C-alpha cells in the first residue's frame, strides 16, 4: 500500500509545486521495489502450485483466498506472455513452458532465500520459518521436550512441526528438515545420522505375572502380541543371537495399532508383548514399568542396522535456520 500511495502522489499530485523533483526518484525506487517484491511473491506461489497440484491447497497453507492465488498466476503468465499451467476442475498441470520456467526459477528463489538468511544472520542470528516433520511417537517423545531450550537459544526461528506417521513429500510440502527412522534413507536427499536405534520385545510385570513368561523367542507364538499396523511388523519378527544366527518367529495378536505411543500404552496396561524402539521404551525398562524379554538378542523386522536420520533436500548451502536445528539435535540426541 505504501508504494501504491506513493505512486498516486507522484503521478496525480506532481503538479503541486510544494513537492520537489528530488522526491520523484525516491518514489520511483519504492514503486520498483514493490513491483519486484510482488513479482517474486508470484513466482513463489507458482512454484507452490506446481508442486502441490492445485490452487486450493496452496491457499489453505497460506491462509488466503484461492482466487488470490489464481490471480497471481494469471498476472505472472500475462507478464511472461506464456501459459504456465493447464487448469482443470480438480488439478493443474505444468505446460512445457511452465516446466522450463519452474526449473529456472527454483534455484534463483533458493539463492534469494540464502542471501536473505545470510544478511539477516550477520546482525540478528538465525530467523524465519522452519518446517519440520517427524513421526508422532518420535516427535512427542524426543523432539517436544527439546523445544523450550531451542526457542530460548533461537527466539527468532518460527518452528512449524508436522507430526505424522505418513511419509510426506519434502519438496511438495516445502519441508526444510525431516526426521526419519529406519535403515539407510533415500539417496535423493542429504542425510545426517542422529543415532543408531534398536528394537526390543518387552512386556509389563503385570502381564508376566499372569502369563508364563516366554523363555525363548519361539515361545512368543503362545502369546497374543501387540502388533504395529505395518505389513512387515505384524506377521513375523527377526531375532539375531550373540553368535549372529537369525531366526524368524511368526507372531500373532488381536490388537493392531499404527501409532507406537498407543502400543506402548497397551503394553504398560499389561495387554501383551510388544516390539518397540529403544528410544521409546528404554526409560520404562530402566524404571521397571516394562521388562526386556530378550536382552541378549537383536530384534528387527527387516534390517538390524537402523538409525534416526535427519533429511533435507539437496542444496549447495544450508539456510542458517536449518543448520542450527541440525546442530542442536545432534548435540542433544546423540
Claim: this prediction has a pTM higher than 0.85 = no
Residues 171 and 312 in one domain: yes
Residues 152 and 23 in one domain: no
pLDDT of residue 199: 95
pLDDT of residue 265: 97
pLDDT of residue 108: 83
The parent domain of residue 316 ranges over: 124-194+307-333
Residues 211 and 298 in one domain: yes
Distance CA 310, CA 312 (A): 7
Residues 19 and 156 in one domain: no
pLDDT of residue 89: 67
The pLDDT mean for the chain works out to 83
pLDDT of residue 10: 42
Residues 249 and 293 in one domain: yes
Q: Which residues contact 264 (CB under 8 A, 6 or more apart)?
A: 137, 274, 276, 280, 281, 284
Could you tell me the CATH number of the domain that includes residue 220? 3.40.190.290
Residue in the block written with cell 531450550 = 149
Residues 263 and 317 in one domain: no
> Lowest-pLDDT range, 2-11, 148-157, 184-193, 325-334?
2-11
User: CA gyration radius for the chain?
Assistant: 27
Could you tell me the CATH number of the domain that includes residue 29? 1.10.10.10
Residues 255 and 169 in one domain: no
Distance CA 10, CA 7 (A): 5
Q: Which three three-digit cell numbers place residue 185?
A: 534413507
pLDDT of residue 224: 95
Residues 313 and 286 in one domain: no
Residues 152 and 226 in one domain: no
Distance CA 167, CA 222 (A): 34
pLDDT per position as a tens digit, 8-40: 444 444 444 444 444 555 444 444 544 556 688
Of residues 148, 147, 156, 137, the one with CA closest to residue 265? 137
What is the mean predicted confidence (pLDDT) over 3-8?
42
Sign of the dihedral through C-alpha 291, 296, 301, 306: positive
- Number of domains comprising the chain: 3
Residues 38 and 71 in one domain: yes
Choose the final residue of a domain: 62, 94, 118: 118
- HEC string of the chain? CHHHHHHHHHHHCCCCCCCCCCHHHHHHHHHHHHHHHHHHHHHHHHHHHHHHCCHHHHHHHHCCCHHHHHHHHHHHHHHHCCCCEEECCCCEEECHHHHHHHHHHHHHHHHHHHHHHHHHHHHCCCCEEEEEEECHHHHHHHHHHHHHHHHHHCCCEEEEEEECCCCCCCCCCCCCEEEEEECCCCCCEEEEEEEEECEEEEECHHHHHHCCCCCCHHHHHHCCCEEECCCCCCCEEEEECCCCCEEEEECCCCEEECCHHHHHHHHHCCCCCEEEEHHHHHHHHHCCCCEECCCCCEEECCCCCEEEEEEEECCCCCCHHHHHHHHHHHHHHC
Residue in the block written with cell 508364563 = 212
Cα 109 to Cα 10, 33, 84, distances in angstroms: 31, 16, 17
Q: Are 141 and 113 contacting, i.e. CB atoms less than 8 angstroms apart?
A: no
Distance CA 84, CA 249 (A): 55
pLDDT of residue 69: 87
Distance CA 100, CA 179 (A): 32
Q: Residue 43 CB: number of other CB atoms within 10 A?
A: 19
Orientation of helix 278-286 relative to helix 260-268, angle to 10°: 20
Looking at the predicted structure, is the pLDDT value of residue 182 above 90?
Answer: no
pLDDT of residue 319: 81
Q: Which three three-digit cell numbers place residue 153?
A: 537459544
Choose the final residue of a domain: 95, 118, 141: 118
Question: Chain centroid to CA 87: how far?
Answer: 29
Q: Residue 50 CB: number of other CB atoms within 10 A?
A: 21
Distance CA 171, CA 163 (A): 17
Q: Give 49's pLDDT tier (boundaries 50, 70, 90).
A: confident
pLDDT per position as a tens digit, 242-300: 999 999 999 999 999 999 999 999 999 999 999 999 999 999 999 999 999 999 999 99
Residues 66 and 114 in one domain: yes
Residues 190 and 311 in one domain: yes
Distance CA 249, CA 235 (A): 9
Choose the final residue of a domain: 118, 151, 186: 118
Amino acid at each position: 500500500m505504501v508504494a501504491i500511495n506513493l505512486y498516486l502522489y507522484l503521478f496525480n499530485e506532481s503538479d503541486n509545486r510544494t513537492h520537489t523533483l528530488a522526491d520523484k526518484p525516491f518514489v520511483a525506487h519504492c514503486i520498483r521495489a514493490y513491483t519486484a517484491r510482488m513479482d517474486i511473491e508470484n513466482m513463489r506461489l507458482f512454484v507452490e502450485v506446481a508442486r502441490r497440484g492445485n490452487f486450493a491447497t496452496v491457499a489453505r497453507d497460506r491462509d488466503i483466498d484461492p482466487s488470490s492465488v489464481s490471480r497471481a498466476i494469471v498476472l505472472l503468465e500475462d507478464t511472461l506472455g506464456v501459459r504456465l499451467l493447464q487448469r482443470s476442475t480438480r488439478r493443474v498441470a505444468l505446460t512445457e513452458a511452465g516446466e522450463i520456467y519452474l526449473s529456472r526459477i527454483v534455484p534463483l528463489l533458493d539463492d534469494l532465500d540464502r542471501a536473505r538468511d545470510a544478511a539477516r544472520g550477520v546482525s540478528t542470528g538465525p530467523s524465519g520459518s522452519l518446517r519440520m516433520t517427524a513421526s508422532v511417537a518420535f516427535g512427542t517423545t524426543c523432539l517436544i521436550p527439546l523445544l523450550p531450550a531451542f526457542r530460548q537459544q533461537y527466539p527468532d526461528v518460527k518452528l512449524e512441526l508436522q507430526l505424522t506417521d505418513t511419509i510426506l513429500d519434502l519438496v511438495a510440502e516445502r519441508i526444510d528438515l525431516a526426521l526419519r527412522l529406519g535403515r539407510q534413507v533415500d539417496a535423493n536427499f542429504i542425510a545426517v545420522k542422529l543415532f543408531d536405534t534398536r528394537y526390543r520385545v518387552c512386556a509389563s510385570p503385570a502381564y508376566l505375572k499372569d502369563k508364563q513368561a516366554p523363555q525363548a523367542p519361539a515361545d512368543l507364538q503362545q502369546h497374543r502380541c501387540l502388533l504395529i499396523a505395518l505389513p512387515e511388523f505384524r506377521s513375523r519378527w527377526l531375532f539375531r543371537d550373540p553368535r549372529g544366527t537369525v531366526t524368524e518367529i511368526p507372531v500373532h495378536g488381536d490388537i493392531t495399532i499404527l501409532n507406537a505411543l498407543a502400543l506402548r500404552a497397551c503394553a504398560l496396561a499389561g495387554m501383551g508383548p510388544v516390539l518397540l524402539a529403544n528410544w521409546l521404551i528404554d526409560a520404562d525398562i530402566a524404571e521397571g514399568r516394562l521388562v526386556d524379554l530378550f536382552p541378549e538378542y537383536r530384534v528387527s523386522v527387516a534390517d538390524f542396522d537402523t538409525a534416526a536420520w535427519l533429511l533435507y533436500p539437496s542444496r549447495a548451502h544450508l539456510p542458517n535456520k536449518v543448520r542450527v536445528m541440525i546442530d542442536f539435535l545432534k548435540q542433544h540426541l546423540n
